[in-house]
Structure 1
């Protein structure tokens, strides 16, 4: 994402803080909210990655004690980061049955990648390599800062909007409490934050798929991984993601169940379109796929 789009995104979310502050406390509330937004921008720049990792109970992998598939995942991620000409990221594991993964960090020198135990169990080694190459592509494209800051600020916007339900915010022209306006703000502000996320998500994912396919040298494995993750995720609830829906756009596949309003706005392109683009890339790289590559992916957890 270029600096102008990054600036516009942060400016838009800061403006949302101001509007909600106006609804909650009038002009004074708007000034307080804008000040809070500026402070949160600065805090999120330095700490949003730590907050996200903590929210998902991610554990750093110790290569001296890691064994089995966790050690293989660690070694492959280190090797892929070298192929991508990136500094070695911090590598985390999340004890969660839903197969998924994400990357975070303010720059390539301070990046982290995380995969769930479900991903390591349910996917082949080649498919896991494809997933981690995708996440490293986010790091190389410098997507991780805006992705993580957006998760932090969007979550804060949702919380601030919800506070409007419990305080006498929003006044009409006669100075009376405008509860209808307050309720509308509490509903619309999280939606607006999700729309801002949508504006950055779709192209970002296509770009990371393409570069990830090039990094691992096997776009077909990444395409298979996307199919499997989507199918398995439908039957496995990611409770941490459900409690932190503003961070859903961080993951390679949407981790939300769709049972809540927070999932009305998808932050990811259609998986079919992503797979199609990856298969085109595979053909261009001389790795033509058999006709039945995607005909028998399970739809229930293993």
Structure 2
């Protein structure tokens, strides 16, 4: 199912790129964007972990640098029957976390310095388990491909807007129609956001359920989500962008009035996620952390 989702995501976002190319430069532009999309998908697939860690200045650490965090990830990875991922830390006060990598053998789990100071050990275990669930089901590849292509779409859409406003006004088979160009520039990022939203929501519910199993108590994760959500609504993670907001356990732009994520949320309501986790705990006969 995840492989099918990945294929559909690549196809849909590639189609948007080709549409933008066609609006800017006719059939030649469409071909150029098709070639660009192929190269981007290939590059993203092989370098997804590096791309995401670099985007948030995440520093990969050793056991000696953060023994408690490293040992926790190692213990939970063994419980999830996963290879040990790289562990990274993002220097940010806002509590949040994400996982990345094209497969379990090339995965990385990153947490902010803020999350380590805000959450208890058990709650942090719930968060790490959620991220390992993404790794286990290869959701991390979907996230990175979506982030990379959506970012390119937004960038090209901005160029298209300038082309529509200051272009030569040509309207022939191979030229650009300013009206069509402006419409494409506006609609393309919205379409990309909707695609990300539809895929991301189901991934989050699945990772919550699996994470609750990995850490041994769904209430660990439920309590962690409640705390992270509060801080996300009152602060913004440095370098956070709408194109990559779906990678995080809680939308890092939840408190930004200007965020596209407020219009097209990549995450289910935190209240719904918490309710599901509490019901999961209740079914397991767990009533307290």
With the shorter chain as reference, the TM-score category is: over 0.9
- Partner in structure 2 of residue 293 of structure 1: none
Distance 1:260 1:170 in 2: 31
Distance 1:231 1:254 in 2: 11
Distance 1:194 1:63 in 2: 38
Shift of 1:239: 2.4
Shift of 1:179: 2.9
- Check whether the contact 2:62–2:70 (CA below 8 A) recurs between aligned residues: no
Distance 1:177 1:217 in 2: 57
Shift of 1:42: 0.7
Are positions 1:251 and 2:248 aligned together? Answer: yes
The aligned runs of 1:1-302 (5 Å cut-off) are: 1-64=1-64, 66=65, 70-167=66-163, 168=167, 171-172=170-171, 178-241=177-240, 244-256=241-253, 257-263=255-261, 264-289=263-288
Shift of 1:251: 0.2
- Check whether the contact 1:26–1:171 (CA below 8 A) recurs between aligned residues: no
Gaps of 5+ in 2: none
Q: Encode CA deviations 1:254-287: one digit per residue, 9 max, x unaligned.
A: 0013322522210000111101110111011110
Shift of 1:114: 0.1
- Check whether the contact 2:236–2:256 (CA below 8 A) recurs between aligned residues: no
Shift of 1:169: 8.4
Distance 1:205 1:132 in 2: 13
Q: 1:131 to 1:63 in 2, by over 3 A?
A: same
Normalised TM-score (structure 1): 0.89
Distance 2:152 2:173 in 1: 30
Q: 1:169 to 1:233 in 2, by over 3 A?
A: farther
Task: Decide which moves more: 1-10 or 222-231.
Answer: 1-10
Q: 1:147 to 1:180 in 2, by over 3 A?
A: same
- Check whether the contact 1:23–1:169 (CA below 8 A) recurs between aligned residues: no
Shift of 1:178: 3.4
RMSD over aligned Cα, in angstroms? Answer: 1.8
Shift of 1:9: 1.0
Q: Encode CA deviations 1:194-224: one digit per residue, 9 max, x unaligned.
A: 1110121111111100000000001101001
Q: Encode CA deviations 1:70-121: one digit per residue, 9 max, x unaligned.
A: 4212111111001101000000000011100000000000100000001001
Distance 2:73 2:94 in 1: 20
- Check whether the contact 2:20–2:157 (CA below 8 A) recurs between aligned residues: yes
Distance 1:246 1:37 in 2: 16
- Check whether the contact 1:93–1:114 (CA below 8 A) recurs between aligned residues: yes
Q: Encode CA deviations 1:10-60: one digit per residue, 9 max, x unaligned.
A: 001110010000111111111111111111111111112211110100001
Q: Secondary structure at the match of 1:239?
A: coil
Shift of 1:4: 2.0
Task: Decide which moves more: 126-135 or 46-55.
Answer: 46-55
Gaps of 5+ in 1: 291-302
